[in-house]
Structure 1
Amino acid sequence: MANSSTPDELVRVVRSPSDKRDYQHLVLKNQLKVLLVHCPDSSKAAASMAVNAGHFDDPSHTQGLAHFLEHMFFMGSQSYPEPSAFNDFLSAHGGQHNAWTGTEFTNFYFDCNANALEAALERFASILKEPLFSNEWVQKEKQSIESEFRLKQKDELRRLYQVHKVTANQNHPFSQFSVGNLNTLKDDEHGTLQQKLVQFYRDHYSANQMQLVVAGPQSLTKLADIIQKLFADIQNHKKPKLSIKAPLYTAEQKGLFLQVRPLKKAYRLILTFPLPGIDQDYRNKTTSFIAHIVGYEGPGSLFNCLRDKGWINSLSAGGGISGSNFKDFNVNIQLTESGRKNITTILQWVFAYLGKINTDGIEDWRYQERKVTSELSFLYQEPTPVGELVSQLSINAFHYSKVDIIYGDYRMDGLDHDYAAKLLALMTPAHSRITLISPDVETNLKAPIYDTEYSVTKLTESQLDLFTRSPCDFNAMLPKRNRFINERLHPQPLESENALPTCLSSSDLMELWHLQDNEFRVPKGHIYLALKLPAVTSSAYYFAIARLWSELIIDALNDDLYDAEVAGLHFNIYPTQQGIVIHTTGLSEGQLPLMSHLMKRALLLKFAHRRFRDIKHTLVANWQSAHQNQPLNKLFAELNQQLQPGLFRLPELANQLLSLSFREFTQALEKMFEPVYVQAFMHGDWQSQQADRLATLIRENLPTQQPAAKDRETVKRVGDFLSKTLEVPCSHSDNAVLFYQQGNNDSEQEQVCYMLLQQLVHQPFFHDIRTKKQLGYAAGSQYFPIQRLPGILFFIQSNTASTDRLTTEILNSLEQLFVQLDSTPLKAWHHSKSVLEQQIRTRDRSLRVKSQRLWGAIQLGDTSFNRQLRLLDALDKYQLADWLSDIKQKLSQNSGWLRLQTTSQGK
């Protein structure tokens, strides 16, 4: 091994004190860069290969080729030629794979049970070294690319993105079509599509342009041996990566005003400031610091002032595309209808505020506050699942130094005043690109591919002059010192070794559960307050009012609690199937005062009539447009609504708010909060005395003394449906079908029965419907429990097949699969049980995950908190003959199946 790697393996990776993983960098003899991660407590292992090639490398004659190659990579290799070989192996070993293609990088990654890592890596390496690119599957898989394209052809972000591309420098690779479709992926005078794939692979998939990350419980030495054996022979073509010379925009493409007409009603204003690439600034994060000030939402902020005028609903800063030689710094504003009429003044405010930041905002104490919160986030970050970790680190390796592969996301060394001044000097009207998105804009052009209607004009000298004038009433202020910043770095001392929550208080009106966590010793926590309010779920009318009230509360409290959010204290308020939940999370110091503030103000707040109107309109617009372009999601939503009590269709909720007056709203609120029953859970490093304080807070702030019933409403049963086929109107051109079967009860054996069914059929079903028959991009199956009542669903969305054909194909596929179950080998049965056992045994990977699990158990009344053990016991006792008997009976009951399908609505 000593001769196979460079001294880079000695580099020490900066990591959080709570990170128990070990890291080692290697560079193999073929110049492949490798990071090994030893995860001592992980039952899963994972690997990711990032390649410094993306759609920017597409040949102009075959746009979308990099994306297509990503699809084809998992379609067989010389050693494992079956197109589903890798997927089948991972599925059989508790894993999955995925990939994505970006502008300059492509990322392939997978996870699996730890004991299968070496065999999985052997297959992964084979794919990377000798992809098959079978012409049979090239022809089939390009249909999948077409389906993916069609699936998102009406996606508003993609439509806007295409306008962005056609108005940028056409000599820059950003201008090319990245997804690809049947029009771009074809044979021509440049060669067959298969030949182009092979050439692209040879040109760009070189070991010196790759970064491999492997994580698992195996020792670093063992991981290094495996990697050396399997990956040292990846070809190194020694071609340097060519840098992009062309600028993203020419001079003529700055100082522009673009107008874009959306498909659905929306009002948005985006200011884009073209900047040079910022990779070299990761140690200082200057753009992130400026974005924080621009997007600040506390008292006197730009957002606050514009919102108080009734012109905007949201404002964010800093997002935008970035690459090796460019960065778009965006100020993204969601407008109200009134704001749409005041675009010029809003732009004046934004430019005046940027000027104020330039003169008064670049101060070290502001930067230091951001650094403190970033350091706390780093110190107490929650462990990332290995599958996500490897993918993230393989990309980080191209942007950060080896020591900073983790810390680079958080590192803030100090404020670079000169660089900040240079960036702010570029944030002027003459250097900007201003995009207005509105249904009433004037357009005279249509972007290709997505048919987006738009117009583009050069800003005139008079407009440039006008935008630089400060409004006469401009009074926006920069952020003041954050009173919520907390530097307590250690959790409170443990009172006991209790491993399970304890009920500290119980009455007809409330119950409070508490757990001081002895596993995740961090100064963080979660407080859940669930208000069971029968009025909220009694009708769509009251549920819509509860959602509007929740949004108004969050909006009204934003001013005085935004600093708390910045300092790591977060809150949310939202309606559920039972009533309303208040949830606080983050650093434990300050959460009790935060919860006290929320509870005391929630029922006393008086809302501004204008904010009521604006937020109501936003909710109605969102609900009316939800799932318009997502047929399959519409079926999922309908299934949930049909089965779960207390849920309502989004269009129905929108209709309830349409004519709702402010007076009706305030009158309805008086009835909404009685009767009530409060269920609460405090989990983190808090001691019992702090839980007692929470109990007192709840009692003192109850909206009524009239108790609500504690029982939950039961899940609706499929057997009670008069019709087993539900048609769901949909205007999208795609068709979708979903089959669902429900269990008879919520016993552990019944749950395990359906889990095993999913384990055994999901991969062959996907292969048959999606890969073999190419019926659609979105297809599969899913274990689908509702309040622990088990079930399974099978689904497909297609841009080519009718719902009748989709139904026939699903039924045919299921019939074949269910026949095959009869001959399930004992070895396959034990293997499936073993995989499922490992999934059930999975430990809580973070305080957040543990809190969610325990809170879910409390809400379901499962206060023994031993569901995992009960499921394992049921799984252990289940024999193949008994399971086959059970599942055969379920599958033969036609009354057990519920079918949902889209139906034409103006298609």
Structure 2
Amino acid sequence: MPLLLVYSLLLTACATGPAPSADITPAKSPNDKHSYRLLTLENDLQVLLVSDPNTPKAAASLDVQVGSGDNPADRGGLAHFLEHMLFLGTDKYPDPAEYEEFVTEHGGTRNAYTSFEHTNYFFDINAAYLPEALDRFAQFFIAPRFDAEYVDREKNAVEAEYQMGLKSDPRRGLDVLQEVMNPEHPFSQFAVGSLDSLADRPGSSIREELLAFYHQHYSANAMRLVVMGKESLDELEALVKPMFSPVPNRDYQPAPIEAPLFAAEQLPMMVEIKPQATLRQLDVSFPVADYRSDYEVQPLSYLGNLVGHEGEGSVLSQLKAEGLAESLSAGSGLGWRGGALFSVNVNLTERGAAQHQRVLQILFAYLDMLREQGPQQWLYEEQSQLAALRFRFKEDPEPINYVSSLSSGMHYFKPEDVLRGPYLMTDYQPALLGELLASVTPDNAVVTLTDDSVETDRVSRHYQVPYAQRQVNAAGLAAWRSPEAEPELHLPAPNEFIADDVELVALQQPVPEVPQRMLEQGRQTLWFLQDAQFRLPKGGIYVNFRSPEVGQTARQTAGAVLYTALLRDAVNEFTYPALLAGLNFDLYKHAQGISLRVSGYTDKQSLLLARLLDTVKKPQFDPARFANIRADMIRGLQNSVAKRPSSQVIDDLREALLYGEWGEQDLITALQGMELADVQDYAEAFWSSASVESMMYGNYLPQQAETVVEQLASLLPDGAAPTLPPLKVLKLAPGEALQLAADVPHDDSVVAWYLQGAGNTWSDRAATALTGQIIKSGFFQQLRTEQQLGYVVAALPWAQLDVPGLVLLIQSPNASAPQVAAAITEFMAAVPDSVTPEQFARHQGALIHEITKPDKNLWERAEFFWQSIAKKQYAFDGRSQLANAVQDMDLAGWQAYYRREFRDQPRSLQAVAPGRWGEFPADAGRIFRSPAAIKDGHDAYVIE
């Protein structure tokens, strides 16, 4: 598949484009109901205004063309540290908590990221409060305080983020890549930062350097601002101009990057890395030209779509046939002013790691074939057609994501193309494509093998990664170029799944507001609804096959996940072209069975569904593929130890609460004991006891539903469906305190403290959700910003199968679990008395606004309907029920509930990883060593 982003820090940066003239209006999708205006303020800040009178959320993003590649040579992480500091007070709003509190109390979120060339700041908020939020946001770029006290404190947050990445193989791989780069290239610099790199030095304080860096790089001409709101374009312009015109224009121009990413004498290069996890990966990267100004040609997309194809004749198809790989992705993962990397990433089998030379031979043979056959206009036009369809029927994204991506793209695209630029592929230039093909050769390659078996002779500076590096000699190149056996490779066939008919079906009047039960007989139920609001030539078929053969034992779970993985693998070659054509497919295990989903353009859905069901009825599983898929699953479970510690503890906590969830070791043991015949026996048992519930929502006629009913019926046995075992959630008693010792091999301590609501009524759900809304901002501000307990600090509602609860999560590199738990206890004790009536009203309004906000697109609406059906909420009124319960709760009632349920007699389960201290919070209840031990014989909520 195409490779979009390798690491979060490799976000593609953009070259500065021309300023928009007053008469340019960006071209937009015919399906786009927003209004747009481009303008350039007097200080040369380029602005895109987006007006949507119906948006429940306003949003804004400002992208600065400066990133970690601009760090001073001896100040790794300075750009990233500056990003952190801008949130912590300005001259106009000096309180460092004020921005976070205002956004949270008014239903919003805020964040930022730093890439090699860009820093992007963004927020959303309930639409009525855009002016106040935007004023606070603008001050980041006018008069930040860089308060010395918070400079000292926030360095600890950067250090915690750095420490958290020490066991992350993506971070570790990036560290090695930067170390083997040409040291004269700015991207070779340390990106994240640490206490060491950000320490005060004789004659130079880090605060002074922050100020100098800010004043040099944060210039209006290097910024792009996108503001989206319910106001008219004239009103938005009147709002933005006085707020952002004071941003100083220092006429900053990014310096050209003359140095190559890899010096010519370094290539071809072989790098070998020893991972933390059981990771087997081959990455092949080629330095190529900077094609970002050629976005109407999209040469890297053209090549990435071919190399990353998964159909018959593809690189991946051949690798799977030889038992060498499980997945492959290809595309541009890194770009800079003057160049880019075209990268191919292959996830290897054990055999593939041992025979990685053969993997390279197959890849280079495919690239040779592409060069020999030359650019193919028909393939280019097919990709162009698909891109045009995506733009024509573009759907509304979340405002916060939309403004962030637009502000970054404004640096790159011409003003008229800021909306359609990512979808343009209209200028077929075979010479340019041929130039790119000429660059992806063995003698221009950086090959990285990541595997535990490699022999290393050096260690990277920042992440202490064992690795080896060598230049490939003539004999090595010859081996890459000379396949031991000629692979069966060819170009993809024409894509039969591209939608031809994109007309909208006639609506059957009157159109109901919610799905109707069209069929309920035997073992099958089908719900149906035409979409009357979004009116796209798209729709979704959602299918739940339910059976008592799922979730009762770890072996059943292993059988279900192996079976669905084998089915996905068996259909991959014909479903991949469908995916490219905008037809999405998924097949996966769920709590009570197996789910199948087909969504996208409705035109060719019947063709895809028929082929999928034919495979389900008559699968032909290859024993070698079974062995590789099982081994890949086991390796993935074993690799859980390399996940972020806080994620591991949350996984353990979820397992302790949900019956039918199993831990990694239980699943590994079950998988190791299963052969292909066992999976086939499991599949037979599953289908002999299966029933099906399905939903069709979108651009369908009722008679199409009848066809789906017939297709699904062919999978089901006769007779009444067996009774399904109920879903269950651990039920804690008032004042009950339990503690789970999580086995996490990491120096950081982690406390994930779960507090369960009093019951499962709408009132309980409302009170718990309100508590999560009220505490999340203060929890972050007090325990992260003020006390600097760690980088991962969060408090949020955490319902399990609608049983309400909260989770309070901290991962700390500098405090023991007892210290963390004590800080949480102190914070929680003070909450109910600290909330004023005005604050309560704001939080209450923000939560109601969030619950009742309209669905943004067809898929959000479909997911709500489908989840309501799964929960047997056939009135489809869950949102209004919850919103009404929130509205009915007053401050006194909430305070009484909080004191009783979350402070005085809490239903408490702490999951704790003690880290290097080895200590557990005292008086937090009996310690259990496994989630299963907690559930054994304990009371449970039964979810019918």
Establish whether residue 158 from structure 1 lines up as the match of residue 156 from structure 2. no
The residue that corresponds to 1:342 in the other structure is: 355
Q: Secondary structure at the match of 2:723?
A: coil
The residue that corresponds to 1:886 in the other structure is: 897
Q: Which amino acid aligns with 2:533?
A: E
Q: Kindly indicate whether the alpha-carbon contact (under 8 Å) linking 1:516 and 1:687 is maintained by their aligned counterparts in 2.
A: yes
The alpha carbon displacement at 1:190 in A equals 5.4
Q: Secondary structure at the match of 1:390?
A: helix
Q: Which amino acid aligns with 1:825?
A: T
Cα separation, 2, equivalents of 1:693 and 1:108: 49
The one-character-per-residue Cα deviations of 1:806-865 (angstroms, maximum 9, x if unpaired) are 111111111122342xxx333222222222221122000011111111100000000101
Q: Which amino acid aligns with 1:17?
A: P
Q: Which amino acid aligns with 1:529?
A: V
Cα separation, 1, equivalents of 2:790 and 2:431: 53
The alpha carbon displacement at 1:893 in A equals 4.5
The residue that corresponds to 2:117 in the other structure is: 104
The residue that corresponds to 2:603 in the other structure is: 589
Establish whether residue 91 from structure 1 lines up as the match of residue 99 from structure 2. no
Cα separation, 2, equivalents of 1:525 and 1:261: 45
Q: Which amino acid aligns with 1:860?
A: K
The residue that corresponds to 2:444 in the other structure is: 431
Q: How does 1:465-476 map to 2 (within 5 A)?
A: 465-476=478-489
How many residues were matched structurally? 900
The alpha carbon displacement at 1:624 in A equals 1.3
Q: How does 1:131-146 map to 2 (within 5 A)?
A: 131-146=144-159
Establish whether residue 801 from structure 1 lines up as the match of residue 815 from structure 2. yes
Q: How does 1:817-836 map to 2 (within 5 A)?
A: 817-820=831-834, 824-836=835-847
Cα separation, 2, equivalents of 1:151 and 1:640: 22
The residue that corresponds to 2:741 in the other structure is: 727
Cα separation, 2, equivalents of 1:416 and 1:744: 66
The residue that corresponds to 1:453 in the other structure is: 466
Q: Kindly indicate whether the alpha-carbon contact (under 8 Å) linking 2:828 and 2:903 is maintained by their aligned counterparts in 1.
A: no
Q: Which amino acid aligns with 2:896?
A: S
Q: Secondary structure at the match of 1:131?
A: coil
The alpha carbon displacement at 1:236 in A equals 1.0
Cα separation, 1, equivalents of 2:292 and 2:306: 21
The residue that corresponds to 1:128 in the other structure is: 141
The one-character-per-residue Cα deviations of 1:309-362 (angstroms, maximum 9, x if unpaired) are 111111211142112222111111111111223222221221111011112252
The residue that corresponds to 1:311 in the other structure is: 324
Q: Secondary structure at the match of 1:626?
A: helix
The residue that corresponds to 1:631 in the other structure is: 645
The residue that corresponds to 1:443 in the other structure is: 456
Q: Kindly indicate whether the alpha-carbon contact (under 8 Å) linking 1:498 and 1:518 is maintained by their aligned counterparts in 2.
A: no
2:370 to 357, 371, 393: 357
The residue that corresponds to 2:932 in the other structure is: none
Cα separation, 1, equivalents of 2:413 and 2:455: 44
Q: Which amino acid aligns with 2:853?
A: T
Cα separation, 2, equivalents of 1:587 and 1:471: 43
Q: Secondary structure at the match of 1:479?
A: coil
Establish whether residue 237 from structure 1 lines up as the match of residue 250 from structure 2. yes
The alpha carbon displacement at 1:602 in A equals 1.1
The one-character-per-residue Cα deviations of 1:411-468 (angstroms, maximum 9, x if unpaired) are 0113210011111111111111111111111211111111111111111112212222
Q: Which amino acid aligns with 1:102?
A: S
Overall identity of the aligned pairs, in %: 30
Cα separation, 2, equivalents of 1:751 and 1:495: 37
Cα separation, 2, equivalents of 1:659 and 1:879: 56
1:650 to 635, 642, 664: 664
The alpha carbon displacement at 1:259 in A equals 1.0
The residue that corresponds to 1:898 in the other structure is: 909
Establish whether residue 693 from structure 1 lines up as the match of residue 707 from structure 2. yes
Establish whether residue 511 from structure 1 lines up as the match of residue 548 from structure 2. no
The alpha carbon displacement at 1:882 in A equals 2.4
567-576 vs 335-344, which moves further: 335-344
Establish whether residue 875 from structure 1 lines up as the match of residue 886 from structure 2. yes
Cα separation, 2, equivalents of 1:119 and 1:642: 43
513-522 vs 457-466, which moves further: 457-466
Cα separation, 2, equivalents of 1:898 and 1:508: 43
Cα separation, 2, equivalents of 1:170 and 1:614: 40
Q: Which amino acid aligns with 2:731?
A: R
Cα separation, 1, equivalents of 2:109 and 2:877: 28
The residue that corresponds to 2:162 in the other structure is: 149
1:863 to 864, 869, 874: 874
Q: How does 1:232-381 map to 2 (within 5 A)?
A: 232-360=245-373, 362-381=375-394
Q: Kindly indicate whether the alpha-carbon contact (under 8 Å) linking 2:736 and 2:906 is maintained by their aligned counterparts in 1.
A: no
The alpha carbon displacement at 1:102 in A equals 0.8
Cα separation, 2, equivalents of 1:627 and 1:678: 37
The alpha carbon displacement at 1:589 in A equals 1.3
The residue that corresponds to 1:708 in the other structure is: 722
Unaligned stretches of 5+ residues in structure 1: none
Q: Kindly indicate whether the alpha-carbon contact (under 8 Å) linking 1:765 and 1:817 is maintained by their aligned counterparts in 2.
A: no
Cα separation, 1, equivalents of 2:676 and 2:872: 38
The one-character-per-residue Cα deviations of 1:250-291 (angstroms, maximum 9, x if unpaired) are 112221111111112221111111102121121111111111
Q: Secondary structure at the match of 2:459?
A: strand
Cα separation, 1, equivalents of 2:158 and 2:61: 23
Establish whether residue 193 from structure 1 lines up as the match of residue 206 from structure 2. yes
Establish whether residue 401 from structure 1 lines up as the match of residue 414 from structure 2. yes
Cα separation, 2, equivalents of 1:35 and 1:395: 11
Cα separation, 2, equivalents of 1:816 and 1:333: 52
Cα separation, 2, equivalents of 1:636 and 1:342: 37
The alpha carbon displacement at 1:871 in A equals 2.3
Establish whether residue 580 from structure 1 lines up as the match of residue 594 from structure 2. yes
Establish whether residue 737 from structure 1 lines up as the match of residue 748 from structure 2. no
Establish whether residue 75 from structure 1 lines up as the match of residue 88 from structure 2. yes
Cα separation, 2, equivalents of 1:93 and 1:153: 36
The alpha carbon displacement at 1:667 in A equals 2.8
Q: Kindly indicate whether the alpha-carbon contact (under 8 Å) linking 1:748 and 1:870 is maintained by their aligned counterparts in 2.
A: yes
Establish whether residue 813 from structure 1 lines up as the match of residue 824 from structure 2. no
The alpha carbon displacement at 1:220 in A equals 0.7
Q: Secondary structure at the match of 1:435?
A: strand
Q: Which amino acid aligns with 1:890?
A: E
The residue that corresponds to 2:475 in the other structure is: 462
Cα separation, 1, equivalents of 2:348 and 2:883: 52
Q: How does 1:19-30 map to 2 (within 5 A)?
A: 19-30=32-43
Cα separation, 2, equivalents of 1:881 and 1:312: 60
Q: Secondary structure at the match of 1:59?
A: coil
Q: Kindly indicate whether the alpha-carbon contact (under 8 Å) linking 2:735 and 2:905 is maintained by their aligned counterparts in 1.
A: no
Cα separation, 2, equivalents of 1:723 and 1:91: 30
Q: Secondary structure at the match of 1:10?
A: coil
Q: Secondary structure at the match of 2:727?
A: coil
The alpha carbon displacement at 1:511 in A equals 0.9
Cα separation, 2, equivalents of 1:255 and 1:518: 57
Q: How does 1:542-561 map to 2 (within 5 A)?
A: 542-561=556-575
Q: Which amino acid aligns with 2:156?
A: Q
The residue that corresponds to 2:539 in the other structure is: 525
Q: Secondary structure at the match of 1:673?
A: helix
The alpha carbon displacement at 1:508 in A equals 4.2
RMSD value, Cα: 1.8
The alpha carbon displacement at 1:308 in A equals 0.6
The alpha carbon displacement at 1:12 in A equals 1.5
The residue that corresponds to 2:927 in the other structure is: none
Cα separation, 2, equivalents of 1:747 and 1:884: 18
Establish whether residue 854 from structure 1 lines up as the match of residue 868 from structure 2. no
* CA spacing shift, 1:721–1:87, aligned 2, 3 Å: closer
Cα separation, 2, equivalents of 1:137 and 1:443: 41
Cα separation, 1, equivalents of 2:877 and 2:675: 48
The residue that corresponds to 1:59 in the other structure is: 72
The residue that corresponds to 2:697 in the other structure is: 683
291-300 vs 462-471, which moves further: 462-471
The residue that corresponds to 1:748 in the other structure is: 762
Cα separation, 2, equivalents of 1:141 and 1:698: 57
